[in-house]
Amino acid sequence: MNSSQAKVAATAVAISLIVLLALPPSAPAQVTKADYERAASLRAKYSDLALSVVDRGGWIGKTARYWYRKSVPGGNEYWIADASKREKAVAFDHTRLAAALAAASGEKAEPLELPFFTLTFAEDGRSVQFAAFGARWSCDLETYVCKKAEGQGGPRERRGGMGMWVRGPAPEAASSEVKASPDGKWEAFIRNYNVCLRDKASKAEFVLSHDGSEGDYYTFRSIAWSPDSAKLVALRVRRGHHRVIQYVESSPADQLQPKYHSMEYAKPGDALDIERPVLFHAATKARIEIDSALFANPYELDAPAWRKDGRAFTFEYNQRGHQVYRIVEVDAATGAARAVVDEQAETFFSYSGKKFRHDIADGREVVWMSERDGWNHLYLYDGATGTVKHRITKGEWIVRAVDKVDEEARQVYFQASGMTPGRDPYFIDACRVNLDGTGLTRLTEGEGNHTVAYSDDLAYLVDTWSRVDLPPTTVIRSAKDGSVVMTVEKGDITALVKAGWKAPEVFTAKARDGRTDIWGVIFRPSDFDPKKKYPVIEYIYAGPHSSFVPKSFQAYSSMRALAELGFIVSQCDGMGTSNRSKAFHDVCWKNLGDAGFPDRVLWHKAVAAKYPHYDISRVGIYGNSAGGQNALGALLFQPDFYKAAVSSCGCHDNRMDKIWWNEQWMGWPLGPEYAASSNVDNAHRLKGQLLLIVGEMDTNVDPASTMQVVNALIKADKVFDLLVIPGGGHGMGGEYGTRKMYDFFVRTLLGEATPDWNRMAP
């Protein structure tokens, strides 16, 4: 190249550089509105494609017929399976019933989209009752005429999750009602906070107690007569502190100005009502003192219940701190109290799915559930001596629930998990065992999660079972040996799979102890490319009251929708959650801040070691309620692993949340462990990216819990995002909150721009 050519080349390069420098910097890649719409459409796309899936059902009276609802193209149908005849048929003419209901109600009803889920068949099958359009209806299945049934309307929805805890009613100076004795001769009532008695024939009145007052009163609702009408018992209540929390509803629908609300809400450490039973003899008007040594410090003392022969009454006593639980029996003649069952735990007694009592022969024997040997099992007590006669079940597996106690056959029908080594230890099977511990029989088969329902005569059980990667099968089995009587339905997911549905992957890895398996699931986007690297988002709920990873088939999951935006979404149950051994569960004791994070981090690392596309350099986490506490806790206690979190309605300081849930796991009296687990006290540790969501009218977790975190973060000069939902309750803010979460993770984990929503049509 000569000098002239060199000058030309140099000039060209210089011009090119100037042009490049003049260009604006390249914008980040953008997740489009279409991507969001695809994620939002998955529920509608997938939910109706799994066919012959049974989701409701029930035995018809004392018959061998079982009604059920199954998915069909276009909606759902109701069918009846007859175990005695080994046949099934459609339950009624759906078109005629829809027309009859529409005519009677004036509302629209479609044959395959009937406006109810459950129903009640008459034993003869000639009519059916159900709740719809705010009323209860009865429909004649011969004439197809629907009429409003007498009584209440449709059932009210009950809010799930952790409910608020409210103590007993206000003191009653006098009761407007009376409780008559079984023989009809006496009437008991409350006057001036005391228990009074009226002779129904002579109208003569007697005051049985003289020590009631506004602060230490007897309650009408607790009065219970002995079967022989000779005695009665009532609870006396020394009133504790009834905390009231305040709410401002900023944007009510019916007025411009805010509304102010208050609600009773007990919190850890509050002084509670102290309840004590008091015994009275009607004939002598004697008041019998009961030594309270066995129930001196109640967290809760339930209503007394009399033995059928009137010899005594019993009540259950949960001691403050949840480490002592007793069944107390009080002798009706003397008032002497004794413990029929005395359950004591070094950490906590778990009554969340792990408490069961059944009295046999008027309390001569008691079937009782206990974790005393490290696994949840059943024991048979001698009710007279309060000693264990023998174990009913044993082994390194757990009883999940008791379905039936057949006193005549002396057998127990129960649900169990973890009986088969190598299988998912959370899968539930149905079993039967004799009360003497012999004859253990598994009544279900098939590697999956089983739900069962027994016929009234215990001749049959309906078994519906599935896995996250296997659609449900519903069969009727013999309750004698578990053999299949007839196949009711087999789920068909052919169309679902053709539409692009893929089952989540079940993955296990070792916990912090190097021995225990941690079980979880992994959702990948429908356009997954194993050659790419995907950021990871964990959905977390580490509440110790249960376990939470799905075990049964689901056509749709919100985790699946989130994955569509370009993430891998996973969930696992770490140590400290329930439904495993007591040692596994006890990790949460005074340690809710742990949330199983050491196990979760190891689980994620194990997934990444197997799959290069699982990018644990970009891990986010989200959760609601206890999961909201956990999600923020991930950034505070594991900041080197978790990079971004969405935390909604979190109980961020266990001293701020409902009393029953928090004292059970964190202990009483309150100790330094509460501060150690507090997201408020540890807010200064924040390193990652955070979005907080809270509903201003959350009646489950005090919204002040979130605002105290906000205050602590501001004081620590931390940067974060906050979304307050006016009028919002205990959730993630509906569709708006979900979209904000999606935007947050797209920006923080994908590093991409989100759609300019304000410039788009709704």
Whether residue 316 contacts residue 359, with contact meaning beta carbons closer than 8 Å, is answered with no
Nearest alpha-carbon partner for 289 in 297, 300, 281: 281
Domain parsing of the chain, residue ranges: 54-148, 496-755
The pLDDT tens digits of the residues spanning 74-90 come to: 999 999 999 999 999 99
Q: Give me the pLDDT at residue 352, please.
A: 86
The pLDDT tens digits of the residues spanning 477-499 come to: 999 999 999 999 999 999 999 99
The pLDDT tens digits of the residues spanning 679-721 come to: 999 999 999 999 999 999 999 999 999 999 999 999 999 999 9
- Beta-carbon-side half-sphere exposure of residue 79 (alpha carbons within 13 Å): 19
Whether residue 752 contacts residue 29, with contact meaning beta carbons closer than 8 Å, is answered with yes
C-alpha to C-alpha distance for 737 and 131, rounded to whole angstroms = 32
E-state strands within 164-288: 179-180, 186-191, 194-199, 205-207, 216-218, 224-225, 231-238, 244-249, 259-264, 274-281, 286-288
C-alpha to C-alpha distance for 412 and 408, rounded to whole angstroms = 11
Nearest alpha-carbon partner for 452 in 392, 402, 395: 402
Flag whether pLDDT at 23 surpasses 70.
no
Q: Would you give the distance in Å from CA 666 to the centre of its chain?
A: 19
* Cβ-based burial of 676 (10 A; exposed 0-12, middle 13-18, buried ≥19): middle
With cut-offs at 50, 70 and 90, classify the pLDDT of residue 151.
low
Nearest alpha-carbon partner for 755 in 32, 259, 183, 168: 32
Residue that is written with structure tokens 């540890």 in the block: 682
Q: Give me the pLDDT at residue 358, please.
A: 98
C-alpha to C-alpha distance for 530 and 525, rounded to whole angstroms = 11
Longest dimension (CA), the chain: 133
Q: Pairing state of beta strands 286-288 and 259-264?
A: unpaired
Nearest alpha-carbon partner for 356 in 371, 345, 367, 343: 367
C-alpha to C-alpha distance for 6 and 336, rounded to whole angstroms = 112
Tell which wins on pLDDT, 129 or 151: 129
The pLDDT tens digits of the residues spanning 555-564 come to: 999 999 999 9
Whether residue 489 contacts residue 53, with contact meaning beta carbons closer than 8 Å, is answered with yes
Nearest alpha-carbon partner for 659 in 222, 245, 218: 245
If you average pLDDT over residues 325-344, what whole number do you get? Answer: 98
- Contacts with 20 (C-beta within 8 Å, 6 or more apart), sequence order: none
Q: Please report, to the nearest 10 degrees, the dihedral formed by the alpha carbons of residues 606, 610, 613, 614 taken in order.
A: -10
Helices (H), 572-657: 582-586, 597-610, 626-637
Residues in the chain, overall count: 762
Nearest alpha-carbon partner for 182 in 221, 218, 232, 235: 232
Structure tokens at 699: 């009646």
Whether residue 65 contacts residue 85, with contact meaning beta carbons closer than 8 Å, is answered with no
Flag whether pLDDT at 419 surpasses 70.
yes
Give, as one character, the DSSP assignment of residue 758: G
Lowest-confidence pick of 173-182, 609-618, 735-744, 753-762: 753-762
* Cβ-based burial of 373 (10 A; exposed 0-12, middle 13-18, buried ≥19): middle
Flag whether pLDDT at 22 surpasses 50.
no
Whether residue 578 contacts residue 350, with contact meaning beta carbons closer than 8 Å, is answered with yes
Residue type, 653: D
CA–CA distance from 135 to each of 122, 139, 158, 298 (Å)? 18, 13, 17, 41
Q: Pairing state of beta strands 449-454 and 441-442?
A: unpaired
Give bridge partners of residue 615 from the DSSP assignment. Answer: 535
C-alpha to C-alpha distance for 245 and 756, rounded to whole angstroms = 39
Is the backbone peptide bond immediately before 669 cis, with ω within 30 degrees of 0? yes
Average pLDDT of the chain, as a whole number: 94
CA–CA distance from 419 to each of 18, 411, 427, 554, 584 (Å)? 73, 19, 9, 24, 17
Give the DSSP letter string of 637-688.
Answer: HSTTT--EEEEES---STTTS-HHHHHHHH-SS--THHHHT-TTTTGGG--S
Q: Give me the pLDDT at residue 535, please.
A: 98
C-alpha to C-alpha distance for 233 and 255, rounded to whole angstroms = 49
Residue that is written with structure tokens 């018809």 in the block: 60
Flag whether pLDDT at 343 surpasses 80.
yes
Q: Give me the pLDDT at residue 449, please.
A: 98
H/E stretch holding 259: strand 259-264
Packing angle of the helix pair 626-637, 597-610 (nearest 10 deg): 70
Q: Pairing state of beta strands 460-467 and 484-490?
A: unpaired
If you average pLDDT over residues 434-438, what whole number do you get? Answer: 98
Structure tokens at 542: 């580490």
CATH superfamily of 496-755: Alpha/Beta hydrolase fold, catalytic domain (3.40.50.1820)
CA–CA distance from 401 to each of 267, 344, 349, 357, 595 (Å)? 29, 20, 16, 11, 25
Flag whether pLDDT at 20 surpasses 70.
no
C-alpha to C-alpha distance for 29 and 35, rounded to whole angstroms = 13
If you average pLDDT over residues 28-57, what whole number do you get? Answer: 93
Q: Give me the pLDDT at residue 168, please.
A: 61
- Contacts with 89 (C-beta within 8 Å, 6 or more apart), sequence order: 79, 80
Whether residue 290 contacts residue 268, with contact meaning beta carbons closer than 8 Å, is answered with no
Structure tokens at 720: 């974060």
Lowest-confidence pick of 168-182, 319-333, 575-589: 168-182
C-alpha to C-alpha distance for 697 and 392, rounded to whole angstroms = 47
Phi, psi of 104 (to 5 degrees): -80, -35
C-alpha to C-alpha distance for 340 and 362, rounded to whole angstroms = 13
Flag whether pLDDT at 164 surpasses 90.
no
Strand order in the sheet with 377-382: 357-360, 365-370, 377-382, 387-391
Residue that is written with structure tokens 């796991």 in the block: 665
Q: Would you give the distance in Å from CA 516 to the centre of its chain?
A: 25
Whether residue 744 contacts residue 750, with contact meaning beta carbons closer than 8 Å, is answered with no
First-to-last CA distance in the chain?
Answer: 62
The pLDDT tens digits of the residues spanning 733-751 come to: 999 999 999 999 999 999 9
Q: Please report, to the nearest 10 degrees, the dihedral formed by the alpha carbons of residues 185, 191, 196, 197 taken in order.
A: -20
Phi, psi of 111 (to 5 degrees): -55, -40
Q: What share of the chain is helix, strand, coil (3-state, %, to 5)?
A: 20, 35, 45
Structure tokens at 627: 């999961």
Phi, psi of 158 (to 5 degrees): -105, 130
H/E stretch holding 328: strand 324-331
The pLDDT tens digits of the residues spanning 165-190 come to: 445 667 878 999 999 999 999 999 99
